[in-house]
Amino acid sequence: MSDVIELNRIEAVADYREDWLRLLSVTPGGTFFRSLEWLQVYWKHFAADQKLRVLIIRDGEEVTGIVPLCVRRIKSKFGLCRILTFPFDDWGSFYGPVSAHQKTTLRIALNYIQQSRRDWDLIDLRCVDRVGFDRGATEQALLEQGLSYETLLWSQTACVNLQQNWEQYLDSRSTRARKTYQCSEKRVQQEGKVEYLRYRPAGAAKGESDPRWDLYDECEEIARQSWQGRSKTGTTLSHTSVAPFFRDAHELAAQAGAVDLNLLYVSGRPAAFNYNYIYDGLVYALRMGFDPHISIKGAGCVLMGRMVKDCMQRGDRILDIGPGSLEAKQNWYTSVENSYRYVHYSATSVTAKLMQLSHQFADWYRDRFSNETSPDCQALCHAELPAAQH
């Protein structure tokens, strides 16, 4: 018989560290973003106006699943709206329960939520990898609990299949992509000696947890000099709005064995960086950039190529280059993967009913007066619920 323990204080979640670590190791598509370490640092920096609701699923005395949730208040055209969602804010591409049994864990969590005092207007589960590692578990859990829902395309992310060798990968690229990379290599090498460095500590459990702040600081300085660093609204490593968060996350990621830091040096000077998280062969490209004052053109391309090649030689499985800007990434990715959003409207919330009617009208209007029927159009019709842009 399963039961649920709800935790509302981040300090209390630490009592389940060992269970969390054990379950993450068997979670399909598990990443550093689903780790307790990441949730702790995220909550430290972004907990304002959110209520934590971490659900611990137990079968007898054994913890079989963990569902991190939060209640967030957002503004809509119908007033304040409370959404029950993952504490994620689109920092990565995908999110979900921490468990080997995704559907069962989420079904038990949803049953508990239905029986608890309602503090939400919408259940809004975002960044679900429906046809990938999730394999329909979210849909099945909602259906088994009798919860109606809308499914919307949420985002698209560019991925590189690393389970091939470098020669096969290059051959699969377009002629233009191959020439761009080869010309970049030649151009950058003409500027001086080119060196590629990759730092990937195994973590505290294996005696490798040095964050190597000297390397991280070099990445941060490159970010500061890059075009991203000059943006007034950006969120690269050097921006004051997120720099403390990134630094705290870096330290915990090093302890967890999740840091994957890549640097390219030209004539001994740091010219480009790729800062990633790594877990179980899944590499997520969190931030990247190059210093235009050191390498006029091509350093970022060279670093990307050498990093992909090294990933393949190490036996990594997937490189997630991140959502958005697909055109700029087309030379590299081998597939574009979709993430989805599942929305359930409370039957007793006036705000939820108004939003549902508004969405239904938008859908009707689109179908009646537009030939556009793609999921992208659906997402635009449901734009009242904003996401944090990272």
Residue 373 scores a pLDDT above 50 = no
Q: pLDDT tens, 45-69?
A: 999 989 999 999 999 999 999 999 9
Can you state the angle between helices 213-225 and 243-256, rounded to 10 degrees? 150
Q: Are 341 and 120 in contact (CB under 8 A)?
A: no
Domains annotated on the chain, with CATH: 2-156+338-381 (3.40.630.30), 163-316 (3.40.630.30)
Q: In this predicted structure, what is the pLDDT of residue 197?
A: 98
Q: In whole angstroms, give the CA distance from residue 64 to residue 55.
A: 11
Residue 282 scores a pLDDT above 60 = yes
Residue 369 scores a pLDDT above 80 = no
Q: In this predicted structure, what is the pLDDT of residue 354?
A: 83
Residues of the chain with pLDDT > 90: what percent?
Answer: 81
Residue 390 scores a pLDDT above 70 = no
Question: Is residue 382 very low, low, confident or very high in pLDDT (cuts 50, 70, 90)?
Answer: very low
Average pLDDT of 267-296? 93
Q: pLDDT tens, 192-223?
A: 999 999 999 999 999 999 999 999 999 999 99
Q: In whole angstroms, give the CA distance from residue 238 to residue 240.
A: 6
Interstrand relation of 79-85 and 122-128 (parallel, antiparallel or unpaired): parallel
- CA angle in degrees (0–180, nearest 5) for 114-117-123: 50
Q: In whole angstroms, give the CA distance from residue 150 to residue 74.
A: 19
Residue 389 scores a pLDDT above 70 = no
Average pLDDT of 315-321? 98
Residue 181 scores a pLDDT above 90 = yes
Cross-sheet strand order for the sheet of 335-345: 2-7, 50-59, 62-76, 79-85, 122-128, 335-345, 150-161, 318-323, 282-290, 269-279, 259-266, 194-199
Q: pLDDT tens, 322-366?
A: 998 899 999 999 999 999 999 999 988 888 888 888 777 776 776
Q: What is the pLDDT of the chain when averaged over all its residues?
A: 91
Question: Is residue 73 very low, low, confident or very high in pLDDT (cuts 50, 70, 90)?
Answer: very high
Q: In whole angstroms, give the CA distance from residue 345 to residue 384.
A: 14
Residues of the chain with pLDDT > 70: what percent?
Answer: 93
Q: In this predicted structure, what is the pLDDT of residue 375?
A: 44
Residue 387 scores a pLDDT above 70 = no
Residue 119 scores a pLDDT above 60 = yes
Q: In this predicted structure, what is the pLDDT of residue 125?
A: 97
